[in-house]
Amino acid sequence: MSSYEPLTIDSAVTLVKKLGLFAESDAVSANEIGDGNLNYVFHIKGTEKSAIVKQALPYAKVVGESWPLTLERADIENRALRLQGTFAPDYTPKVYYSDKDLAITIMEDLSHLEIARTGLIGGEDYPLIAQHTGEFIARTLYGTSDFAMGPQEKKKLQHTFCNPELCDITEGLVFTDPFFDVETNDFEEGLRADVEKLWNDAELKLHAAQLKRQFLTAGDALLHGDLHTGSIFASSTETKVIDPEFAFYGPFGFDIAHFTANLFMNALSREESRRERLYEHIVTVWNVFTGEFTRLWNENNTEAFAKTEGYLTWLLADIFEQATGFMGLEMIRRTIGLAHVKDLDSIDDEKKRLDAKRHSLSIGAHFVKKRKAYTSADQLVAAVKEAVQ
């Protein structure tokens, strides 16, 4: 359409009118509402309709222009959204328009919903979020796997979702940096002794290295790649998974691990009497994921060994073990790495905040090291309950 330049409120309005998405005569207003780490997000409101214009910036907004990024991620996000929409239309925002050169995606306005992290911090429970997210993960992962597509078609699709730059962010921020004394880490002084203990934990580092290798080498399915509670819009009846700019072919256990880790961190930020609903969500998302993956496996499977006794059971157990480890890593990095979660950071009382963060670190490290000892979400929940007693 034209060459890249960052949109302003005025140019975003001009663009949606020029594209015919809004009438020239419509009294359209716009606000920049992006609170993520990487992009501009404009909320465009006309008299009868509304839309979201998301634009990638040529640097990481969370750090500034000193961290340059290419604009490729906007195209990845747009294609991932469209593909995820074919497998899980109820849980994916509709895309109206995209432009690779401008690095924009124009999509359905979800402002009648709330970012799940914000709602959960405010005490919302979202009764259907785990059911919906479990279905989303199972359908998008299974649908893009070797089992559903066959290895040839899968490899062709995988080739189009090579995302080295955003994988590099995850490889650094999730899998590497928190385990070394590097500048990007960010933790309060009250945690220094805990963090130094973690840096000197050779056993933990070995397990982190093993999990990092799985992330680097596995190509099971097209992941969302950043499925924390800030990537979900929700209400009591609806759930939409947004922001798949980190999408790439990776290990089956990654998305569910990040969702459950963020639920656990929200639970740690709450008073004990208000944690139960989060624990129920963690058990539900696993049950739904397993049930839906199994249903799809039995319904549509190109693998010759699909009906071989024990194969699916082994695979689901393998995904669970891997996810338990990834979950622990997400809890560690959100506590001491570059990108924190508001759930923990916004606890006003210093002692309670440091206690919650210490639990996040110690539970995270335990799940990384002992992931083979866990075989069900009930056991994970029981371990967390025991740790915080």
Name which of residues 24 to 63 contact Mg ion (CB under 5 A): 36
Whole-number Å distance between alpha carbons of 119 and 99: 32
Q: Which of 279, 378, 380 is nearest to 328 (CA)?
A: 380
Whole-number Å distance between alpha carbons of 228 and 65: 25
Name which of residues 7 to 46 contact ligand SR1 (CB under 6 A): 37-38
Phi-psi region of 64 (alpha: psi -120 to 50; beta: other; left: phi over 0): left
Q: Which of 52, 44, 114 is nearest to 81 (CA)?
A: 52
Among 135, 243, 330, 343, binds Mg ion (CB under 5 A): 243
The residues, any chain, with a CB within 8 Å of residue 217's CB and separated by 6 or more, are: none
Q: Could you say which of ligand SR1, Mg ion, none residue 339 binds, taking C-beta under 5 to 8 angstroms by partner kind?
A: ligand SR1
CB closer to ligand SR1, 173 vs 388: 173
The residues, any chain, with a CB within 8 Å of residue 13's CB and separated by 6 or more, are: 22, 28, 29, 30, 44
**Closest residue to Mg ion: CB criterion:** 243
Smallest separation (angstroms) from Mg ion to the CB of 4? 20
What residue spans of 123-178 are helical by DSSP H?
129-143, 146-149, 151-160, 164-173
State the residue for tokens 């990537």.
231
Smallest separation (angstroms) from Mg ion to the CB of 226? 5
Whole-number Å distance between alpha carbons of 26 and 16: 11
Name which of residues 336 to 375 contact Mg ion (CB under 5 A): none
Site string for Mg ion, 202-241 (x = CB under 5 A): ----------------------------------------
Smallest separation (angstroms) from ligand SR1 to the CB of 226? 5
Name which of residues 56 to 75 contact ligand SR1 (CB under 6 A): 60, 62
Smallest separation (angstroms) from Mg ion to the CB of 39? 8
Site residues, ligand SR1 (CB under 6 A): 37-38, 60, 62, 169-170, 173, 226, 339
Site residues, Mg ion (CB under 5 A): 36, 243
